[in-house]
Amino acid sequence: EVKRGADVSVGFIQFKDGFQYYGQMTQELPHGFGIDLYPDSSLYSGEFSQGARHGFGYYQHKELSYTGYWHRGKRHGVG
């Protein structure tokens, strides 16, 4: 379900592989604040730009976690 506003919408996307995204979107891509939920129970909560993790966010995968900045989908800095 997607609720549309001016250029930004808020919604939910679920893919066949079980991946889910909740949050802000523009042009049907994650953009703004959102949450990725993965089938293996890992998650990312934070900022996106044009579909990629970009800005401040938190990633958790089993025993590994990272809180810090992301740049074009990759960790940026120490965290």
What are the tens digits of pLDDT across the range 49-64?
Answer: 999 999 999 999 999 9
| HEC per residue, the chain | CEEECCCCEEEEEECCCCCEEEEEEECCEEEEEEEEECCCCCEEEEEEECCEEEEEEEEEECCEEEEEEEECCEEECCC
What distance in Å separates the CA atoms of residue 16 and residue 63, rounded to the nearest whole number? 26
Provide the domain count of the chain. 1
Per-residue pLDDT, 9: 87
Q: Does residue 37 surpass a pLDDT of 90? A: yes
Is residue 42 scored above 90 in pLDDT?
yes
Residue 34 CB neighbour total at 10 angstroms: 22
Residues of the domain holding 25: 2-76
**According to the model, what pLDDT value does residue 3 have?**
53
Mean pLDDT to the nearest integer, 13-35: 92
pTM (predicted TM-score): 0.84
